[in-house]
Amino acid sequence: MTRTSRVAIVTGSTSGIGLAIARTLAQQGADVVLNGFGQPDAIEKERAGIEAEFGVRAVYSGADMSKGDEIAAMVAQAETDFGAVDILVNNAGIQYVSAIEEFPVEKWDQIIAINLSSAFHTMRAAIPGMKKKGWGRIINTASAHSLVASPFKAAYVAAKHGIAGLTKTAALELATHKITVNCISPGYVWTPLVEAQIPDTMKARGLTREQVIHDVLLQAQSTKEFVTVEQVGALAAFLCTDAASQITGANIPVDGGWTAH
C-alpha cells in the first residue's frame, strides 16, 4: 500500500486491536492520535516507538470515551495539532458478562457510553472538518456481536448492534462527501478484553478456563483459531485507501466463519 499523509484518531489504542490499527495506519504514513487508559510509561513507550519506527507524529490523548465533553476536546485538539482529522477509528470498548437480571445498572450505562455513544460524540465533532476537506474515513470496530447475539452479554450486544445502525446512518448522510463509514466486525481476537472475560464466563456458565476457550469462545468460530490484531489492522488500512472508496455502510466480518452459520 502506498504511504499517505493522513491524520488518524484511534480511540482505545493503548492496547489490543486499537493499538494494532494505529500502528498499521502509522506504517502507511498517517500521523496518529493514540487514546485509552494504561500505565503512563507503557503508553509513552508505544507513542515514541511509533514515531521512531514509522517516521510519523504520534500524540496521546487520555480522553475518557464515556464523557462527551472530553471526546469533543480530543477531536478539537487533534485539529489544532495536525490541522485536520482524516481518519476516525472508533474502537474503544469494554465488556461485562452477566445474566440480565443481575446485570449491574452502572455497567450497562458504562458499556452503552463507551461502546456506542462515544462514536456518536467523535463523529459529531469530526464530521464538519472532514466535510470541509472533502475526504474522510470513519471505521467503527463493531463485533460479530453486531450481527448475532450470545447470552450474558446484553449491554455489549445491544451497543454493538447499535453501532452497526449508526454506521449505516452516517454512511448515508456522508455518501456524497467522499467520506466512507464502515464497521469491522471481528470474531474472537486474542486481546486483554477476551482474556479478562474468561473468569466471569467460567462463573456464569460453571466451566473451566479450557472449556470457556474451546467450548464457548471458539465454539462458533469455524476456523477454530483466534483472529489476530494485525489482521484487523490490515483491513482498517485497506478501508482507508482509494481502492475502498466505494465501500461504505458495510459491516465486514473478520470472524473465522462465525456469522456464516
What residues make contact with ligand NAD under the rule CB under 6 A? 12-18, 35-38, 64-66, 91-94, 114-115, 141, 143, 186, 188-189, 191-194
Closest separation between CB of residue 161 and ligand NAD, Å? Answer: 12
Closest separation between CB of residue 191 and ligand NAD, Å? Answer: 3
CB-nearer residue toward ligand NAD: 34 or 240: 34
Closest separation between CB of residue 56 and ligand NAD, Å? Answer: 19
Burial of 99 (C-beta count, 10 Å sphere; 0-12/13-18/19+): exposed
245 Cβ contact list (under 8 Å, min separation 6): 178, 180
CB-nearer residue toward ligand NAD: 7 or 19: 19
- How many helices (H) and strands (E) the chain has is answered by 9, 7
CA–CA dist 230, 234 (Å, integer): 6
List the catalytic residue out of 60, 96, 156, 188.
Answer: 156
CA–CA dist 93, 16 (Å, integer): 11
Query: Is 188 assigned a catalytic role?
Result: no
CB-nearer residue toward ligand NAD: 4 or 115: 115
Closest separation between CB of residue 243 and ligand NAD, Å? Answer: 24
C-alpha 252: how far from its chain's center? 13
| Strand-pair partners of 10 | 34, 89
> Annotated catalytic sites, by residue?
156
